[in-house]
């Protein structure tokens, strides 16, 4: 894995943590569970997209050799 990809994954982890904090605060503020579930789905989709992007990058890198 390239250093840039590792950095991007770490940055994504920080952003996901921030979003989780906001979701917890929203729960404490009395928001509906639907909102929290939607936030969870959004987090899962972002993780999946980032993992797929990194995977494609690794595949492209291997094809170049």
Question: Over the chain (65 residues), what is each successive 10-residue block's mean pLDDT?
Answer: 72 77 70 67 81 75 49
Buried b / exposed e along 43-55 (16+ C-beta atoms within 10 A): beeeeeebeeebe
In this prediction, residue 65 carries a pLDDT of: 42
pTM above 0.85, yes or no: no
CA-atom Rg of the chain in angstroms: 16
In this prediction, residue 7 carries a pLDDT of: 77
């Amino acid at each position: 894995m390239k250093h840039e990809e590792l950095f991007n994954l770490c940055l994504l982890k920080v952003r996901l943590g921030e979003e989780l904090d906001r979701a917890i605060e929203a729960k404490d503020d009395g928001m509906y569970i639907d909102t929290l579930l939607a936030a969870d789905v959004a987090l899962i989709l972002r993780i999946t997209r980032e993992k797929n992007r990194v995977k494609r990058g690794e595949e492209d890198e291997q094809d170049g050799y």
